[in-house]
Structure 1
């Protein structure tokens, strides 16, 4: 079994319907990233006072989004909990339908982890990156409000998951990680922190601002490390699905380029990435 739990309250605060759909999308991405097929889901629905029209509206929209995703993906809700009236002197909590996902692994020996494994292996981005920055970590860091909350396409999610799981079960993929909070930049950093470095170029992602490429939190995306000489087989499995070759596993630094002049946007040793990642909670908590 594979088990995961997710929700993004920042998406939910802007749009409970799209935020709920995104939570199920992320559940599926997490499970597929290790080679597990989503089997069922559970929930813990945390909301404010439903006697207030706005709070009831949030509950309605969120459950509508969850139901659409469950039906479309043929995933049963096997368990659930509802916690209402979560309000204090400063108001209600953000609508927070925490979702748990359970996946089935056919052979645990074929599962993959998220750390970059072997120098020279190719790095691919699976899925389409859009200008969807609403609720993103980037907008929070820049103190920007609003924006477009990431959408979810059930058909694209299903096809992408099936292709990814097939490639993992076939032994083509060495590591994989879903793109979620913090976007592609954080995904690459987390994969480097656990293993080797990487050198990537974002130019092939198309005509889009570099900060959108790095920090968009569009759904239904993964970064996959593909074994040497297996690229053609990998690309054939993903025929008809958006796939972008970014670069390769290399060295002990994370290096990211973009633009016609190949401007270097990130060039950091893994040790610095690990230090920043490991010290964040302590800084927040004091």
Structure 2
């Protein structure tokens, strides 16, 4: 049974009032602001992707102030999409309440170990792995033809590899031991190296080398999963580390009156090693 507003704790009332304020502002902007009136789902899409990456950056930097701000930006986009959805003149019309009820019903249906199954019977899921397996089985019952069909095709390749592996594991298709996965990594490395001339480093078959490199990356993602490393996060942290060190090299070389174009690799390495020590 749903509670009345005045029956809710004060904190929840404050949260709902804040959400109501955002919805009211969205209504006003959509009605009065030329820019907001012009927007469509398609025009907002690339901006939403940008906001998502900005949130990701803030999370990686562990900047709570920026996380709060970026969550606000992303929430605005979600409210904006729902506002546009409410303006349809046919049966496809929906508003933010439909969105919220929809995700609430999905969460209840996908957590039978908390809420019971469709008939109200309790379902056991004592481990995270059992929860994931139940989740994938429920999605298949809902009409998904493959456990991998929920992986967006437009995901970056590294993230997609991880998500496909996670979903395959949820269906019971996975290695038993991480040692087996590491053996696969070494096997793929050997197959990759076989497409190069050991003496000259010349690529013998570029297409085959590319395919084996893909297999090697996929197996490394698999191993990362087994040792609880998020490969996307790990690579992005390395990207940020490289960026900081390279910019250190540029700034300190410039301060010493040097340019990278006129420096030897050995000279650059001196700054690079200092950056490793100081940053």
Q: Same fold (TM over 0.5)?
A: no
Higher strand share: 1
**Structure with more contact order per residue of length (Cα contacts < 8 Å, sep ≥ 6):** 1
| Higher fraction of helix | 2
In which range does the TM-score fall when normalised by the shorter chain?
under 0.3
From the CA coordinates, give the structure whose radius of gyration is larger: 2
Structure-2-length-normalised TM-score: 0.25
